Amino acid sequence: MIPFVRAFDFAYGRRDQVSPLIQRVIADNPGPFTFTGTGTYIVGRPDAEAEVAVIDPGPLDQAHLAALMAAVEGRRVSHVLVTHTHRDHAPLARSFAQATGAKILAAQPPMRETHASDALDEDEDAEFAPDVVLTGCELIQGDGWTIEAMFTPGHASNHMAFVLREENALFCGDHVMGWSTTVVAPPDGNMRQYLASLDAVIARDFDMLWPTHGAPVTQVRPFLEAYRAHRMEREAQIVHRLAAGDRTVAEMVPVMYAAVDQRLWPAASLSVLAHLIKLVENGTALSDIEPDLTARFRLV
Ligand SMILES: [Zn+2]
């Protein structure tokens, strides 16, 4: 069982000091994939002369823009960092950067044809364009803080997490969420990359994870190990379903997710497909056509 953390003390638009160098403001965009809404993080000292970086400005929402402007309180915003181009993370970046004079840093957005499925209400901000393209390992330095870009593809092909070195903490975007498993939706999501990115995060032994949605993960190693084990268990279930004669995603999901709200089945279907693609890639399974939601699969 994953030790999810769903208790979460917050108010929309309020600036909370959540660690010595981190403040957080939550946008009013709750939903099945955003939990209580997008958490925008401000990194830097809270005093008036400080220079700060802002991570994931969030959805296009004037109230959230006003809350962020109030939260930075005249401090200089040197960098706007965006974890990935899903529309609950990226769209406000441009207007916030224009209002503060900051540059936007992010990984290269995916090509248009690899957009995440509309079924997930989490599709791309097609307009998003960073000023500086990150590839991972860059160091971004400010007044009293050092942020390292950590490329973590899987949930999205351009997912970048950000390490705050002074606190051995990771702003993990949607790569890891404390309240839920993460959606890995092909074609832009990729399960093989997702698990490799999860291993990379586990290896770093962070003291704290700050997901974009919900509360921080404080018991990092046991949480991540349970998170990873859950994926491997799902994969074992899929192999079992194939052995039992299921051939399509549509046959597997009602069995595997019988206990889950049916409104989440479209997302679950894509996660199952992501595992099946991984099984085809590693030679465990075969697909009659290029793997998608209509393909027929069997074990090798
Ligand atoms: Zn996302």
For the stretch 202-260, pLDDT in tens is 999 999 999 999 999 999 999 999 999 999 999 999 999 999 999 999 999 999 999 98
What is the tens place of the pLDDT at every residue in 73-123? 889 999 999 999 999 999 999 999 999 999 999 999 987 654 445 445 457
Q: How far does residue 190's CA lie from ligand 1's centre (Å)?
A: 13
pLDDT of residue 148: 98
**Looking at per-residue confidence, does 103 or 124 come out higher?**
103
- Rounded to the nearest angstrom, the distance between the alpha carbon of 192 and the centre of ligand 1 is 17
> What spacing in Å lies between the alpha carbon of 122 and ligand 1's midpoint?
6
Task: Find the 82 Cα to ligand 1 centroid distance in Å.
Answer: 11
Compute, in angstroms, the gap from residue 155 CA to the centroid of ligand 1. Answer: 7
Q: How far is the CA of 113 from the centre of ligand 1 (A)?
A: 17
CA of 245 to the centre of ligand 1 (A): 33
Q: Is the peptide bond before 187 cis (omega within 30 degrees of 0)?
A: yes
List, as one string, the DSSP characters of the chain. Answer: -----------BT--EEEETTEEEEE-S--BTTTBT--EEEEES-SSTT-EEEEE---SS-HHHHHHHHHHHTT-EEEEEE-S--BTTTSTTHHHHHHHHTPEEEEEPPPPGGGPPPGGGT--B-TT---SEEE-S--EEEETTEEEEEEE--SSSTT-EEEEEGGGTEEEEETTS-SSSPPP--TTT--HHHHHHHHHHHHHHT-SEEEESSSSPBSSHHHHHHHHHHHHHHHHHHHHHHHHTT--SHHHHHHHHTTTS-GGGHHHHHHHHHHHHHHHHHTTSEEESSSSSTT--EEE-
Q: Which of 208, 106, 213, 133 lies closest to 163, judged by CA?
A: 208
* Reported confidence tier of residue 189, pLDDT bands at 50, 70, 90: very high
**For residue 296, pLDDT beyond 70:** yes
123 C-alpha to ligand 1 centroid (Å): 8
Q: What is the pLDDT of residue 74?
A: 81
